[in-house]
A and B are shown apart, each in its own frame.
Chain A
Amino acid sequence: MSRTSPLREWVSGLDARIKLGSALLALLVTLAGPAPHTASGIAALALLASLAVGEPVRVLMRRLGLALFSGLAVWALHWVSQPEATGTWAPALVLGTRVAAGAAVFGLLTSLTPPWALVGALRAWRVPAALADVLALAVRYATVLERSAHSAREAQVLRLGYRDVRRSLRSLGALGGLTLVRAFDQAHATAEAMAARGCRGTIVPPPGEHP
């Protein structure tokens, strides 16, 4: 099924509050329900839903990799420290299925809902306006800053800035500093642009109001 299936379009168009609320409910049930059956059931449902909306199988496998890794680590912890004990796989199974359910539900939510829509949902749930503004601005500029840092790093690489350990450490520090200076410049430009447009209050409007 392609990623532009009608089902995917319909679910993507749902109110972000419904999707976020459903995901949170599923996560809470996963953690609070009898283990590992509840977690396994929710993970299976979320994976089926992901397939139905056209998520690629390799993406789902990658999400489940972390669950397998976590389960193996817990199994190792219990198995080697208590070699005489039986059923050392039980805590690993509980944890593995919980992480699998979390990764499947959360992955489905983030693939169907853009970050700005989730911020809007938080604002609708009475998250303080100042915090919602910070979230909205950070969501907007995270990718901008990331691209900026990436281009600066490429320039450093071209100037042999990562030739040896000493130069690498110096380049890494300069890259961190440059990212922060650019963040500050961007903040200044944003504040001026907001003021020029007459913005004196909140950026993200309260629920029920449209700018």
Chain B
Amino acid sequence: MPGISGRGCGAALRHRLQALVQTASVSLRQETWLLAALLLLPYPAHAMHLAEGLLPFGWAAGWTVSVLPLLALGVMRLRERVAQSPLYSPFVAMLAAAVFVISCMPVPVPITGTCSHPCGTGLAAVLIGPVMTVLVTFVALLLQALFLAHGGLTTLGADIWSMGVVGGFVGYGVFHGLRAVRAPLGVGAFAAGMLSDWATYAMTAFELASALHGSQPLGGTLGTLLLAFLPTQLPLGILEGALTAGAVVFISRRRPALLNFHALPAASTP
């Protein structure tokens, strides 16, 4: 990579960048600004998906092995429900396909001028609970990897952790916590979608930082990555909250039974 390792050009660019940061009198760290600038380039934003090969072997294996018990629990729940209702298996499959479709919807991100996409796992957690959301996330991520080359096989475990486990459990907990204190349906769904998205992005930043910090302290790298992703993920989380709230309110008007689908006894499912 001659453009990167060329020391003369590199030194000049470095000095110019540092001078720019100093003259702007910005309190944030320099690397955060550079990373943010790099992430705001007109390149498809896949902040929620770690690309194939991004994680070293140990980390990729660790995230994959640690998510297996939750996937096994999801499969056990699926078997139980399928034995009760033959509709459950197609429903989970369709929900996975719907999460796949929703996460392909291009959402214009304000300020940055780029497009990103929602996760849809907060919405899935509201509908079928967090454990089944892990399974749905696995299927949706595998489809995205196979159809669109988003994510990959070696990073699948880490991606399931951030989107399915953290995003799903946070979305479910926030929604039911707010509903328990009698918050309106739309408010609960909005908070669930928004916080689920932000939690997913925080977890993704942690996964990246833990694998890539090298000789630097983990906390510093994590803070840098969190701040660098902030310009896109802050508005995107709000948009995901609006999407979740709109979808849940729409479903509550058209098919209210869907909101309690995971809790219904088998006999009452259509």
Contacts and interface: CB of A to CB of B under 8 A. Distances in A.
Given A80-B31, A92-B4, A169-B239, A130 B82 contact: yes
A134 B127 CA distance: 17
Contacts, number: 253
A91 B152 contact: no
A89 B53 contact: no
- Taking each of A23, A67, A130, A188, which has the highest tally of chain B beta carbons within 10 Å of its own beta carbon? A130
Q: Chain B CB within 10 Å — which of A39, A73, A100, A133 has the most?
A: A73
Interface string B59-84: 01000000000000001001100100
Interface stretch (A1-9, A48-56, A103-111): A103-111
B100 A170 contact: no
B164 to A, nearest CB: 14
Contacts of B250: 173-174, 176-178, 181
A106 B212 contact: no
A67 B123 CA distance: 31
B116 interface: no
Contacts of A144: 97
A137 B93 contact: yes
B251 A180 contact: yes
Contact of A76 (B31, B82, B152, B270): B31
Contacts of B38: 69, 72-73, 76
Contacts of B34: 76, 80
Interface in B90-119: 90-98, 100-102, 104-105, 107
A30 B53 contact: yes
B265 interface: no
Interface in A88-115: 89, 91-93, 95-96, 98-103, 105-107, 110, 115
Contacts of B54: 70, 95, 98-99, 102
Interface string B135-158: 100011011011101001110000
A179 B102 contact: yes
Interface residues of A, number: 83
B98 A169 contact: no
B246 A174 contact: yes
A41 interface: no
B243 interface: yes
A81 B212 contact: no
Contact of A177 (B92, B96, B140, B254): B254
Interface residues of B, number: 82
B17 interface: yes
B188 to A, nearest CB: 14
Contacts of B154: 27-28, 31, 102
Given A31-B154, A106-B52, A173 B246 contact: yes
A195 B142 CA distance: 27
A186 interface: yes
Nearest to A128: B75
A31 B154 CA distance: 9
Given A72-B38, A130-B89, A180-B127, A28 B57 contact: yes
Contacts of A128: 75, 79
A208 interface: no
**Those 10 A-B pairs whose CB atoms lie nearest each other, nearest first:** A173-B246, A177-B250, A102-B53, A102-B52, A137-B93, A176-B247, A183-B94, A31-B57, A187-B90, A98-B53
Interface of A: 23-24, 27-28, 30-32, 39, 63, 65-67, 69-83, 89, 91-93, 95-96, 98-103, 105-107, 110, 115, 118, 128, 130-131, 133-139, 141-142, 144-146, 149, 153, 169-170, 172-181, 183-184, 186-188, 190-191, 194-195
11 contacts: A78-B214, A133-B93, A137-B89, A137-B97, A138-B96, A142-B100, A144-B97, A176-B243, A180-B95, A180-B123, A181-B255
Interface of B: 1, 4-5, 10, 14, 17-18, 29-31, 34-35, 38-39, 41, 43, 51-57, 60, 75, 78-79, 82, 86-87, 89-98, 100-102, 104-105, 107, 120, 123, 127, 135, 139-140, 142-143, 145-147, 149, 152-154, 212, 214, 216, 220-221, 224, 239, 242-251, 254-255, 258, 270
